[in-house]
Structure 1
Amino acid sequence: MATATDGIVWNVPNRLSAARIGFSLLCFVAICLEWYLVGLLLFLLSAATDYVDGWWARKYNQITQLGRILDPFADKVLICGTFILLGAAQDSLIPAWVAVLVTARELLVTALRSLLEGRSKDFSAKWAGKVKMAVQCLAVVLSLWRMHRLESGLDTTPVFDNLLVLVVIAAVVSTVYSGWGYVKLAIGMLREAS
């Protein structure tokens, strides 16, 4: 039975974040079945909901406590899951260690955010985290497109493969850089608190 607060808690941004988790799971199934083009389309749909839910929440002042938890969780499911599956895929140019690095960074930032927001500190996303997400998404998109071409019996060009490698390197650099930024921020906040 619906209550008066359901419309506030399950507002448009939170529904989009929940949908992103569903689209992510479908994307994972498609990758496992080697339907890389379907996986690519589902990944793009999932990534698009990340932009729309944030824009909607800010524009219509619909930021909720649930949204502050659900939105980054949905992001982590999408990014970590796709990197893990691509890191395990044969013929992928994303090494498994990159998937481990991406997942470790996300777990660390989540733990730090939980610790500091539990102490009423603001630990919201910074520009470096947003750049990191964009570069990681580009690496996934290019990788899924390459896997689709290979699965379809089409060749990839050395130029495309080199571009993908450069984007993966940029994703690694931005992952480490943004993660270190959050660690420094957390250290500073903990020193202030003590």
Structure 2
Amino acid sequence: MTTANKITLFRFIMIPIMVIILYITPLKKINTIFDMSLATLLFAILFIIASLSDFLDGYIARKYNQVTTFGKFLDPIADKVLVFTALFYLLILSQDRVPLWTVVVIMTREFMVTAIRLLAVEKNEVIAASKWGKYKTATTMVAIIIMLFNDFGLAQINSNLIWIGNSIYYLAVFFTVFSGLDYFMKNKNVVLESI
């Protein structure tokens, strides 16, 4: 197994560990920074580590020619499960900040893009990621991290300061919709040919 694939597998294994940590009662009773329980803090830290491992495995795979079919299959699944794990957790914590409709929009975009990629693979076409998709990924990750860390204590200083995390999150939702539409328009021939 290549180093890149080991890192991808490591990220995939971290996800259930993140979830299990949230159910360990003693960890929920210990308060830490930013008015977070130890369970929440560990979840947030593991989310950052897992997110960074995504960049690392991609870099290693390209630099050392370790791109494999296994990696192409597991990497996007691990990314999506990681993001949706964090989003569902934030949805449970605060439906005001992460409403269900936004999570549904993000999920719909991800399923649509995955479906288009599968159709393209059947035609031996490779679809490159767009800059809008990269903006979507970056803003989504930043918004999730800000919210997981309770706005890094800004809300304790002034509750109105949660607008920063909220704004970045809704910017991520905008990029999600825009990049999804852009992806569809650029690859509509792949979809329409299959009808």
Question: What TM-score do the two structures reach when normalised by structure 2?
Answer: 0.83
**CA shift in 2, pair 1:168/1:143, >3 Å:** same
Is the CA contact 2:116–2:191 (under 8 Å) kept in the aligned structure 1? Answer: no
Residue matched to 1:131: 135
> Deviation digits for residues 96-146 of structure 1, max 9, x if unmatched?
221111111111111111111121111232222222111111111011111
1:32 shift after superposition: 5.5
Question: Which residue in the other structure is 2:187 paired with?
Answer: 186
Partners of 2:106 and 2:157 in 1: how far apart?
26
CA distance in 2, matches of 1:160, 1:13: 39
Give unpaired runs (5+ residues) of structure 1.
Answer: 1-9
What amino acid does structure 2 have at the position aligned with 1:141? I
* Residue ranges of structure 2 left out of the alignment (5+ in a row): 29-38
Match runs of 1:34-73 below 5 Å: 35-73=39-77
Equivalent position of 2:120 in the other structure: 116
| Aligned 1:1-194 pairs, distance under 5 A | 10-31=1-22, 35-90=39-94, 93-146=97-150, 155=156, 157-190=158-191
CA gap 1:146/1:97 in 2 versus in 1, 3 angstroms: same
- Partners of 1:174 and 1:75 lie apart in 2 by 17
Report how many residues are paired: 182
State the partner residue of 2:31: none
Once the two structures are aligned, what percentage of the paired residues are identical? 28
- Root mean square deviation, CA, Å: 2.5
Superposed displacement of residue 25, structure 1:
2.2
Deviation of 1:160 (Å): 3.1
Q: Distance in 2 between matches of 1:92 and 1:82?
A: 16
Please give the TM-score of this superposition, normalised by the length of structure 1: 0.83
